[in-house]
């Protein structure tokens, strides 16, 4: 559907535009959701604080099979649209949202994220520059539930949770918690894959193959809660291993490459430990030691799960893709 024809003129902060009086594009904000009602409520409240004109964007929540209906939360936020997608996975939920959206710009975030008030304005500004990229990956800031007493898992997440600048600049993709793109770019690329592969990584690599450019925007910020416990870190690692296993199986010589990766992971992670030692997000030797210990512990947990994948890789995905 075409975007509404309501005119809007304004300048966007931070990035010079071709024409400061140009009409702002209509934006569709798409949020996949699954059993996270409290944090979805907070996300929707933060989106209502955007500096981007409220009549120039819509919000679409796509529920992915929650046990409790999402409509009562959506009803408390006028103008927010609820949709449903039965096939599990953030990628398929995002595709469903795109299918009913009206915007010339598509903005993706997650239900547990808290977008900064200037998130849309900063991201759209980058998409409207003379040297505009096709896809913008905005910064994802990690926060602890209690910043004065973070857990070991939260400290680890602060360093390694979402390294969006690294993803964009070195791996040519943006994490789905903070992506902005044009409808034209999305149509050229096609939809996200389903949740059994790393859909944001695959989508970004497809963009690179088609000659589309992904750029990092430090000022287009969403905040994401850190995982708090060792169990939550393990759950995330299980999902990562499962996704990577499925993705690598699509290419030749899978078993040789998988075993080579396991062998590489057996080498002590000096680069990761150096990153911990140099991180400005950690305060003092005690926090750095706690994160270093978690790095080593999680590294060898990952090796064990990768070895298990050789005999029963579906076991790691059952909790993620079954009701």
Q: Tens digits of per-residue pLDDT, 297-308?
A: 999 999 999 999
Helical packing angle, 152-160 and 270-278, nearest 10°: 100
Q: What is the pLDDT of residue 3?
A: 42
Q: pLDDT averaged over the chain? A: 91
- Does residue 290 carry a pLDDT above 70? yes
Q: What is the mean pLDDT of residues 265-269?
A: 95
pLDDT per residue over 82-112, tens digit each? 999 999 899 999 999 999 999 999 999 999 9
- Does residue 10 carry a pLDDT above 60? no
- Does residue 258 carry a pLDDT above 90? yes
Q: What is the pLDDT of residue 4?
A: 44
Q: Which helix H or strand E contains 215, and what residues bound it?
A: strand 214-225
- Does residue 317 carry a pLDDT above 90? no
Task: Kindly tell me the burial class for residue 252, based on how many C-beta atoms sit within 10 Å of its own C-beta (0-12, 13-18, 19 or more).
Answer: exposed
**216: Cβ–Cβ under 8 A, 6 or more apart, which residues?**
136, 137, 138, 139, 164, 165, 168, 169, 174
Beta bridge partners of 271: none
What's the predicted TM-score (pTM) here?
0.89
Q: What is the pLDDT of residue 11?
A: 53
CA distance 118 to 320: 33
CA distance 160 to 152: 12
**Domains of the chain listed by start with CATH number:** 27-225 (3.90.550.10), 230-321 (no CATH)
Q: What percent of the chain has pLDDT over 90?
A: 86
- Does residue 318 carry a pLDDT above 90? no
pLDDT per residue over 39-62, tens digit each? 999 999 999 999 999 999 999 999
Q: What is the pLDDT of residue 128?
A: 95
Residue 207's Cβ-side half-sphere holds a number of Cα atoms within 13 Å equal to 28
Q: What is the pLDDT of residue 17?
A: 43
Q: What is the pLDDT of residue 241?
A: 94
Residue positions counted in the chain: 323
Q: What is the pLDDT of residue 262?
A: 96
In angstroms, the first-to-last Cα distance of the chain is 32
What is the DSSP annotation of 61-110? Answer: EEE-S-SS-SHHHHHTSTTEEEEE--S-SHHHHHHHHHHH---SEEEEE-
pLDDT per residue over 153-187, tens digit each? 999 999 999 999 999 999 999 999 999 999 999 99
Q: What is the pLDDT of residue 310?
A: 86
Task: Name the residue with higher pLDDT: 170 or 322.
Answer: 170
Q: What is the pLDDT of residue 5?
A: 36
Q: What percent of the chain has pLDDT over 70?
A: 90
CA distance 197 to 30: 20
Q: What is the mean pLDDT of residues 118-130?
A: 97
């Amino acid at each position: 559907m075409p975007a509404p024809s309501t005119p809007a003129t304004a300048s966007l902060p931070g990035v010079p535009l071709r024409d400061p009086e140009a009409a702002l594009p209509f934006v569709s904000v798409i949020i996949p959701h699954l059993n996270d009602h409290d944090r979805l409520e907070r996300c929707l409240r933060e989106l209502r604080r955007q500096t981007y004109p409220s009549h120039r964007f819509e919000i679409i929540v796509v529920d992915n099979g929650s046990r409790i209906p999402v409509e009562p939360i959506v009803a408390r936020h006028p103008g927010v649209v609820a949709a449903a997608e039965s096939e599990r996975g953030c990628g398929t939920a995002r595709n469903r949202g795109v299918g009913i959206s009206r915007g010339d710009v598509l903005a993706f975030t997650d239900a547990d994220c808290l977008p900064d008030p200037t998130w849309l304005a900063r991201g759209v500004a980058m998409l409207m520059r003379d040297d505009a990229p096709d896809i913008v990956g905005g910064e994802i800031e990690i926060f602890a539930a209690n910043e004065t007493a973070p857990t070991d898992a939260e400290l680890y997440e602060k360093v390694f949770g979402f390294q969006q600048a690294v993803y964009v600049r070195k791996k040519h993709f943006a994490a789905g918690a903070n992506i902005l793109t044009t409808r034209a770019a999305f149509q050229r690329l096609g939809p996200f894959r389903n949740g059994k592969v790393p859909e944001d990584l695959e989508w970004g690599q497809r963009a690179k193959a088609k000659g589309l450019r992904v750029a990092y925007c430090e000022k287009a910020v969403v905040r994401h809660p850190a995982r708090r416990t060792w169990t939550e870190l393990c759950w995330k690692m299980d999902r990562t291993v499962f996704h990577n296993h499925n993705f690598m199986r699509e290419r030749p010589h899978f078993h040789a490459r998988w075993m080579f990766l396991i062998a590489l992971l057996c080498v002590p992670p000096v680069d990761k430990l150096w990153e911990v030692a140099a991180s400005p997000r950690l305060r003092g030797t005690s926090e750095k030691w706690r994160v270093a210990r978690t790095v080593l512990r999680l590294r060898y947990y990952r090796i064990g799960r990768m070895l298990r994948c050789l005999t029963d890789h579906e076991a790691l995905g059952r909790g993620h893709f079954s009701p």
